[in-house]
């Protein structure tokens, strides 16, 4: 495989915990020169990480990857206007400063887009300057996500965002989508089918099945009893109102606990609701923890929880935590519709309830609780086998590396 000079554009990067970190490090480990253009880390708490700020070092090295940072306004806490400024500031500064910071030639530009879509703007600017092909990895559909989360109601703004998305898709050489369900929407936004390819998420190499040691719960602060664990972002899309309503349904269950490992914009609301509903004895918020510790948390749980709101766009999505749960061989309870539900059911990895149906979710949890540990272990093995067949990390990165190389070779031969 020939050596490539790869420029990755991502609003988020280490020490923020996103899958693009793993991709960048792996590509560098395979011998490619990898540069990441990113912002000052501030996700998910909305303030700059310790040691970072407007005047933090603009150049760093991370596991063989060169990291170039541009200024941005931190996203703040539950303030929509701050989030808009956060998105716009990165797109603006990365477009203006990026071509100067990212010196030299690149064979390919790779844009990681979990949200916002505006991250693609500096990628397109750099495509013009560097005369390099652009690959856009779509993790989140716009403007659909804005509607589904209730972030935007104005038809004029949504129409403007739609025009922006169409413009972005027209200026990408390849559009990678994390779910086959995204393909129709991307075509509707003007992209040619020949430029769209399915490229799902995987779990980092550290996500592997582990043996339970018996003392993890005391060490991690997890109560004894049946533990259902939710890991990841606490946001609007994750539909915590339904989760907490299901917990109210399960209030009488003895020794049942929901443990939440994560943080996000809805965390303070969730804390208030736990107190208001008097669920403190069974719902426990442990906050964010480093990604390296997640497999240890997962093995301490009896089952893992994934939920999404009932919205058409979320029915098209495969939440990234499903791959992480499956890679660790954990049984899954899925309170969602569409692709995520299909994958969980097809894998025979656990039980599925419709999105926003608290009673059905509570029933699925009771069903999981009623299983013997050996039966839950079978669900976990099914999950890992499905992961190996459909989401294997090395195979997917092999495919991306091959695609980048072939694309660059074709352009050089033109």
- Per CATH, 5-202+392-413 and 216-390 having the same topology is answered yes
Which residue stretches of 133-286 are H helix? Answer: 144-148, 155-170, 183-188, 216-220, 240-249, 267-276
Q: What CATH class has 216-390? A: alpha beta
User: What's the rounded Cα separation, in Å, for the pair 353 and 341?
Assistant: 8
Structure tokens at 140: 């989140």
**Residue 78 pLDDT:** 67
Domain boundaries, the chain: 5-202+392-413, 216-390
Give buried/exposed letters for 91-123 (b at 16+ CB in 10 A, else e): bbbbbebbbeebeeebbbbbbbbbbbbbbbbbb
DSSP 291: G
Integer Cα distance of 396 and 400 in angstroms: 6
pTM: 0.89
Starting at the earlier edge strand, list the strands of the sheet with 226-231.
283-287, 256-261, 226-231, 303-307, 332-335, 350-353
Return the structure tokens found at 369. Answer: 């609780």
φ/ψ of residue 107, rounded to 5: -80, -30
Q: What is the pLDDT along the chain (414 residues), one digit of tens a residue?
A: 689 999 999 999 999 999 999 999 999 999 999 999 999 999 988 899 999 998 777 899 999 999 999 999 999 876 788 889 999 999 999 999 999 999 999 999 999 999 899 999 999 999 999 999 999 999 999 999 888 887 788 899 999 999 999 999 999 999 999 999 999 999 999 999 999 999 999 999 999 999 887 777 888 989 999 999 999 999 999 999 999 999 999 999 989 999 999 998 899 999 999 999 999 999 999 999 999 999 999 999 999 999 999 999 999 999 999 999 999 999 999 999 999 999 999 999 999 999 999 999 999 999 999 999 999 999 999 999 999 999 999 999 999 999 999 888 877 665
Give the model's pLDDT for residue 1: 66
Q: Answer yes or no: CATH 3.40.50.300 is held by domain 5-202+392-413.
A: no
Q: Could you give the CA distance from residue 38 to residue 61 in angstroms, rounded to a whole number?
A: 13
CA 52 to chain centre: 23
Beta bridge partners of 334: 306, 352
C-alpha to C-alpha distances, 391 to 21, 144, 172, nearest whole angstrom: 17, 25, 25
Q: Which residue has the tokens 């899954």?
A: 332
| DSSP structural state of residue 223 | P
Q: Which of 123, 56, 135 is nearest to 90 (CA)?
A: 123
């Amino acid at each position: 495989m020939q050596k490539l000079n790869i420029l990755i554009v991502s609003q988020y990067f280490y020490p923020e915990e996103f899958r693009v970190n793993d991709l960048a490090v792996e590509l560098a480990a395979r011998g490619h020169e990898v540069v990441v253009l990113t912002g000052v880390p501030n996700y998910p708490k909305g303030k700059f990480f310790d040691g970072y700020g407007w005047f933090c070092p603009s150049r760093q090295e991370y596991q063989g990857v060169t990291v170039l940072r541009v200024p941005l306004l931190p996203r703040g806490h539950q303030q929509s206007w701050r989030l808009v400024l956060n998105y716009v500031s990165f797109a603006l500064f990365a477009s203006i400063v990026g071509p100067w910071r990212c010196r030299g030639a690149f064979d390919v530009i790779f844009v990681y887009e979990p949200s916002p879509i505006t991250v693609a703007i500096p990628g397109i600017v750099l495509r013009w300057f560097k005369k390099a092909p652009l690959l856009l990895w779509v993790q989140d559909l716009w403007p659909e996500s804005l509607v589904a989360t209730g972030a935007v109601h104005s038809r004029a703004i949504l129409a403007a965002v739609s025009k922006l998305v169409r413009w972005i898709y027209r200026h990408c050489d390849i559009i990678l989508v994390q779910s086959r369900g995204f393909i129709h929407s991307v075509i509707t936004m003007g992209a040619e089918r020949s430029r769209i390819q399915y490229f799902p998420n995987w779990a980092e190499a550290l996500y592997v099945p582990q043996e339970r040691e018996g003392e993890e719960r005391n060490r991690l602060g997890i109560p004894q009893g049946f533990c259902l664990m939710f890991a990841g972002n606490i946001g609007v899309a994750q539909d915590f109102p339904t989760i907490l309503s299901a917990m109210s349904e399960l209030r009488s269950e003895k020794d049942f606990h929901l443990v939440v490992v994560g943080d996000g914009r809805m965390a303070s609301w969730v804390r208030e609701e736990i107190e208001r509903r008097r669920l403190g004895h069974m719902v426990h918020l442990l906050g964010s923890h480093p990604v390296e510790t997640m497999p240890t948390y997962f093995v301490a749980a009896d089952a893992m929880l994934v939920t999404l709101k009932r919205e058409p766009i979320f029915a098209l999505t495969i939440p990234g935590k499903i791959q992480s749960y499956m890679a660790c061989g954990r049984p899954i309870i899925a309170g969602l519709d569409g692709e995520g539900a299909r994958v969980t059911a097809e894998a025979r990895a656990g039980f599925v309830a419709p999105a926003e149906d608290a009673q059905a979710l509570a029933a699925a949890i009771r069903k999981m609780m009623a299983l013997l540990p050996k039966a839950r272990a079978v669900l976990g093995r099914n999950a890992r086998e499905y992961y190996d067949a459909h989401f294997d990390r090395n195979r997917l990165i092999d495919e991306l590396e091959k695609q980048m190389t072939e694309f660059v070779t074709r352009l050089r031969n033109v």
